[in-house]
Chains A and B, each alone.
Chain A
Amino acid sequence: MGLTLNETFLAIFCALAILSLIATGAGQWVTSRTMDTVRLTRLAIVNSRVRSSWSVLALFTVAFVIGPNALLVVFALASFFALREFVSLTPIKSSDHWALVVAFYLVIPAQYLLLGFGRANLFAVFIPVYVFLLMPVVMAIKQDTEFYLQRVAKVQWGLMISVYCVSHAPAIATLPIRGYEDRGPLLLLFFLLILFLTDLLQVIASTLLGGTPLKVNLNKTAKGALAGGAAGVLIGTALWWLTPFLWWQALGMSALIVGSGFMGTVVLSLVKRSLGAKQWDSELVLTRGVLERLDALMFAAPVFWQVTRYIWVIRADL
């Protein structure tokens, strides 16, 4: 292809904007012509998914126009809101106050700064090793032994899922792949598009194909999840030209994203319920919660980052 990087970005931006516009318009048009209440609720779910396409577009534009560092701010805020929601759902005692102060005001900025300064090796072990060991120490200062392990474990889990896992999404845009320099935002776009389209297609396919709703996600059925997942993998394969992968490699990586993303949906739904949230659409937040919006990304981002980094950065440089 004879396109420069800027032209590629512009072409993709226009294509995405037009697609989003069509999908939003179609969603509104069908909604306005439907009277049936059951269909209307289904349509509302589909339309809420279509609306997230605009956030994908906004993220991509920010990454391209301002540069990948702007993404760090966006995702650091996402981590902040996810951790805030996690802590709200978790019974944590007042003696854990200092641990939470450290988690919110030190760990979140540190994790994203490590990424910003290109310290990928430390970035990958900072929370699982150093913060993992630091948290129980901070929480030991108060000498409160009641439920000590449970309290420490919950703060560690909250940090892993909402800070460590989420921070791997912007890290995708910074992978130093040889022959793919400056194109990081395209790889992130590939990743986000697959997650977003799979979710959308799963919801649509679940409506069309019917069946019993999945216990972990009432908006999806087993048939719909499978069909939507397969479609997501196919779309990912067709987008191989966005990535440093060959078409069959793109197929494998798409399957990895779809598969790990689905695991994320399942696990986070169980986590949220075991914390006592009444339902997915928690009354704590006005619309869908941050944890629910990011559930697939939380699992898919670290897996995709690790595998891509191992095969296309570390092994390629051997």
Chain B
Amino acid sequence: MKLLPPIVWLVRLLVGAYPRWIGSAPTATQRVYFANHTSHMDTIVLWAALPGALRANTRPVAARDYWDKPGLRGTIAKEELNVVMIDRSRADPDADPLDPLRDALEHGFSLIMFPEGTRSAQPLPGEFKSGLYHLATAFPAVELIPVYIENLHRSMPKGALLPVPIICTVRFGGALRLRADEDKDDFLQRARNAVAQLAG
């Protein structure tokens, strides 16, 4: 039985998850959507905001230590969201944690990722980790779309057990490209600003 559709409807009922395509259009181009991370519901809200036709080919990137658990959460993550698991703990120091992401991009999937790595308490994103930069260098043809998820931190503040219904919008900005003369820190700063700008 598919568990995801009722969950998506529940998310819509609670927080709306209305998409706003500000700088880009919902097309089937291969993309990496990168967004601010304020709540456990971020992944599912961004997913719900995408048109149904794009969802099948878009895989959220998520931390293995949170999502890869026996039970409902793990089943939905693996079988229905088709999550790309990323190893935050780096159990094997030689393995590159970005390998599963590269693999997914090589197979033509779009990705949803949260470059802050962890949830932040405030709506504006904190420092970005370098993964986004490495993907941008390795896959110059993939569009990088900044996304700002508005209001979700108010629906479920850190430590809250139940989400409160609040209308939440998901704003998609224009595609970002790595410039020829740009180093890692400049690019990550620019990417972070692109998300912050969507906060308006």
Residues of chain A at interface, number, CB under 8 A? 17
Residues of chain B at interface, number, CB under 8 A? 14
Closest 8 pairs between A and B when the two form their complex, measured CB to CB: A94-B157, A88-B167, A84-B165, A100-B164, A284-B167, A88-B166, A97-B160, A101-B162
The secondary structure that dominates the B interface is loop
Q: Which residues of B contact A104 (CB under 8 A)?
A: 164-165
Q: Which residues of A contact B167 (CB under 8 A)?
A: 84-85, 88, 284-285
List B164-193 residues whose CB lies under 8 Å from chain A: 164-167, 169
Asked if A84 and B166 make an inter-chain contact with CB atoms under 8 angstroms apart, the answer reads: yes
Q: For the complex, what is the distance from the CA of A87 to the CA of B153, rounded to whole Å?
A: 13
Q: Which residues of A contact B16 (CB under 8 A)?
A: 84, 285
Q: Which residues of A contact B119 (CB under 8 A)?
A: none
Chain A, residues 105-149, CB within 8 Å of chain B (1/0): the string is 100000000000000000000000000000000000000000000
Asked if A286 and B18 make an inter-chain contact with CB atoms under 8 angstroms apart, the answer reads: yes
The secondary structure that dominates the A interface is helix
Residue A92 lies at the interface, judged by CB distance under 8 Å to chain B: yes
Asked if A83 and B169 make an inter-chain contact with CB atoms under 8 angstroms apart, the answer reads: no
Residue B151 lies at the interface, judged by CB distance under 8 Å to chain A: yes
Q: For the complex, what is the distance from the CA of A276 to the CA of B165, rounded to whole Å?
A: 19
Asked if A284 and B157 make an inter-chain contact with CB atoms under 8 angstroms apart, the answer reads: no
| Known contacts A92-B154, A285-B18, A286-B18; A97/B164 CB under 8 A | yes
Residue A191 lies at the interface, judged by CB distance under 8 Å to chain B: no
Chain A, residues 58-98, CB within 8 Å of chain B (1/0): the string is 00000000000000000000001001110110001010010
Q: For the complex, what is the distance from the CA of A104 to the CA of B13, rounded to whole Å?
A: 12
Q: Please name 28 pairs of A and B residues whose Cβ atoms are closer than 8 Å in the assembled complex, sorted by A.
A: A80-B165, A83-B165, A84-B16, A84-B165, A84-B167, A85-B167, A87-B164, A87-B165, A87-B166, A88-B166, A92-B154, A94-B153, A94-B154, A94-B160, A97-B157, A97-B160, A97-B164, A100-B164, A104-B165, A105-B162, A283-B20, A284-B18, A284-B167, A284-B169, A285-B16, A285-B18, A285-B167, A286-B18
